[in-house]
Amino acid sequence: MKKRFSEEQIVRILRQAEAADQTVAEGCKQHGISEQAWYRWKKKFGQMGVAGRASAA
């Protein structure tokens, strides 16, 4: 099964939303994801940067 977003893309989406000071609903709508996916990503990737995630893999 192919994933829709790579781990690097997920981290980038989370960082962009934080930088733009968007609400969760706005970020989800912009990227076409559910709020459930958002919070799951935030839990898994929220403490890592793009470089941090790449070195952890």
Considering the entire predicted model, what is its pTM? 0.70
- Give the residue extent of every domain in the chain: 7-52
Neighbour count for residue 7 (Cβ, 10 Å): 17
- pLDDT (tens digit, 0 to 9) for every residue of the chain, 57 residues total? 667 899 999 999 998 888 888 888 998 999 999 999 999 999 998 776 554 544 454
Closest C-alpha to 24, from 8, 7, 37, 9: 37
Q: How far is CA 56 from CA 26, 45, 47, in A?
A: 29, 11, 12
Amino acid (1-letter code) at residue 34: S
Distance CA 51, CA 4 (A): 20
Question: Both tokens of residue 11?
Answer: 């981290």
